[in-house]
Homo-oligomer: A and B are copies of this chain.
Amino acid sequence: MNKGLLIVLSGPSGVGKGTVCAALRRKMPGLVYSVSATTRAPRSGEQEGVNYFFKTREQFQDMIARDALLEHAEYVGNYYGTPREFVEKTLAEGKDIILEIEVQGALKVKEKFPEGVFVFLLPPSLGELKQRIVGRGTESQDKIDHRLSVAVEEMNLLSRYDYAVVNDEIESACERIQAIITAEHCKRERFLHELFDELKSLTTAHNGSER
């Protein structure tokens, strides 16, 4: 059996990763979602193992020590990370798994899973990205400038990804990600093994019956 594909969906803050990922999961019920581990408290309605794996700080640090996380980061005093075992188990079962993650985390995952399929979600234009960043609320210009410069830095990481998908419309972005998944399954490597086995058996059978 072929291993599944690890699809990593990333992109600058505010580009709509979460929305696209949720829409994609609705369209592809067979696609497994990689649930993150976190030390932050569950919010109302959040379920263990569905939204997050909720961990104590000690449990999380133990996971770091055991190299049980593909990547982790601290954000506003809480840890967030990607449990390695669930990803590996899903792939070994021949199922595709999607990981929605910010750009720095995605590149850490790439170090451990270079064979992953790394998709960078782009805003329809940088002007539009700025609009989304500026239009969020009533923050100070300094905060907005900071968010913009972070987004520009993130955009510079694009070259390390395999694919870029413009999030002009959720439906269309989903279709392009589905096409990428289909195409990756067609990559020759995934077929060679089975084919050569069949080739061998056919040649033997053929020689046996004809000579």
B122:A158 contact, CB within 8 angstroms: no
**A139 proximity list for chain B (CB < 8 A):** none
Identify the closest chain B residue to A120 (Cβ): B188
Interface residue A76 (Cβ < 8 Å from any Cβ of B): no
What is the count of identical protomers in the complex?
2
In the bound complex, what is the Cα–Cα distance between A158 and B176 (angstroms)?
A: 26
B186:A182 contact, CB within 8 angstroms: no
Interface residue A162 (Cβ < 8 Å from any Cβ of B): yes
Interface residue A73 (Cβ < 8 Å from any Cβ of B): no
**A119 proximity list for chain B (CB < 8 A):** 186
Contact with B along A121-163 (1 / 0, CB 8 A): 0100111001000000000010001001000100100110111
In the bound complex, what is the Cα–Cα distance between A187 and B179 (angstroms)?
A: 12
22 contacting pairs across A/B (C-beta < 8 A)? A119-B186, A120-B188, A122-B195, A126-B198, A127-B198, A127-B202, A130-B202, A141-B210, A148-B206, A155-B199, A159-B188, A163-B187, A164-B186, A164-B188, A164-B190, A164-B191, A166-B191, A179-B179, A179-B183, A180-B182, A180-B183, A183-B184
Q: Which residues of A contact B (CB under 8 A)?
A: 119-120, 122, 125-127, 130, 141, 145, 148, 152, 155, 158-159, 161-166, 175-176, 178-180, 182-184, 186-188, 190-192, 195, 198-199, 202-203, 206, 210
